[in-house]
Structure 1
Amino acid sequence: MQITHLPGRRLVAAVIASIGARHDGAHDLVTDGLYLDLRRALRNPADNPTMRYRTGLDPDVRDHVLNTPGAREIIARTAVQLRALADEVPAGRLVRLTVACQGGRHRSVAAAETVGRLIWEAWDGAYGVDIEHHHIDHPVLTSSTPA
């Protein structure tokens, strides 16, 4: 697992997890909070031989995902929903978002990082954001790869 920590002046207020929905045990990682499944919403970089073995942390892969028609709107709406949820929870409680794609290396990673940065910037760094990538180091799954 890899973690991106966007520090804040106060405690971490949001935890965003990227997962590969087809990996064993992935559904055990879905926690209370928001869930975003990108398997059908965004094009899959794993289908592109030049991106297959890279991750959503790579700028080219991230741009490929974010340039899918409608991707930026989905991500912006998710960031707004996460911030609205954060406004409703008691002080000191975490808000959680789980972002899923097929294998957890490309789309979910790019989207989780982007949502995390959007809400961190909207909070002006007042609260921290942790982004956990649970399956980023797992083998690439293509549509024909069994889980």
Structure 2
Amino acid sequence: MQTTYLDGIGPVTAVISSIGVRHDGAHELVTDGLYLDLRRALRNPAEDPAMRYRTGLDADVYAHVLATPGARELIARTAVQLRALADEVPRGRLVRLTVACQGGRHRSVAVAEAVARRVWEAWGGEYGVEVEHHHIDRPVLPASSVG
């Protein structure tokens, strides 16, 4: 698992996790907070042989995911929802977002990073954001009937 921290002058306030729903135990990683399933929402970079074995942390894969029609709007809406949730919980309590795709290497990783950056910037760096990629290092999964 790779973890990214967007440091703030205050405590980590949001934890964003990317997962691949087809991996064993993935559903146990979904605890509380928001859940975003991208399997039908965004293009799957794994369908492109040039990107199949890369991840959403690679610039070309990240750009491919964010270039999907509607992706940037989805990211913006999710960031607003996460910030609104943070405003509703007592100060010091973590808010969580789980971003899911088929294998947890491409779409969920790119979107988790994009939402984290947007939320951190909206907070003006006042609070930290942690991003966890639970399945980024797992093998690429064979195609399924659900993208």
| TM above 0.5 | yes
**Residues 87-120 of structure 1, C-alpha deviation per residue, up to 9 Å, x if partnerless?**
0000100000000000000000000000000000
Partner residue, 1:138: 138
Match of 2:129 in 1: 129
Q: CA deviation at 1:142?
A: 3.1
* d(CA) in 2 for partners of 1:144, 1:17: 22
In structure 2, C-alpha distance between the alignment counterparts of 1:92 and 1:70, rounded to whole Å: 33
Matching residue of 1:110? 110
State the percentage of identical aligned residues. 78
Give the match for residue 97 of structure 1.
Answer: 97
Q: Indicate the SS of the match to 2:41.
A: coil
Unaligned runs of 5+ in 2: none
Q: Could you list the structure 1 runs, at least 4 aligned residues long, displaced by more than 3 angstroms after superposition.
A: none
The secondary structure found in structure 1 opposite 2:118 is helix
Structure 2: how far apart are the matches of 1:92 and 1:43?
A: 36
Question: Does the Cα contact within 8 Å between 1:46 and 1:142 map onto a contact in 2?
Answer: no
Structure 2 distance, partners of 1:144, 1:28, is 21
Structure 1 unaligned regions, length at least 5: none
TM-score with structure 2 setting the length: 0.97
Matched with 1:50 is 50
> RMSD in angstroms over aligned alpha carbons?
1.0
Length, aligned pairs only: 145
